[in-house]
Amino acid sequence: MNKLAYSILAIIASIVVYRYRYRMLNALLRIRFLQKWLVRSAMNVPFVRNAMISQMLR
């Protein structure tokens, strides 16, 4: 019975997260620390860094 309850809860949670994903992302990115961390993390990926630099130097 617990597995069924957890499965139903997981399905409902995933639907809510999918439906409000952009609203939750905007709320998280209002936090300055998370913005900085995300930019630093993204710039450590060579493909992303090269794409960003090529766009800026166009």
Domain boundaries, the chain: 2-56
**Considering just the CA atoms, what is the radius of gyration of the chain in Å?**
18
> Which pLDDT does position 21 carry in this prediction?
96
26 has a pLDDT exceeding 90: yes
pLDDT over 70 percentage in the chain:
100
- Beta strands (DSSP E) in the chain are none
Provide the mean pLDDT of the chain.
Answer: 92
37 contacts: CB under 8 Å, gap ≥ 6:
none
3-state SS assignment for residue 53: helix
| Average confidence (pLDDT) over 11-27 | 95
Closest CA to 35 of 44, 25, 45, 22: 25
Q: How far apart are CA 8 and CA 4, in angstroms?
A: 6
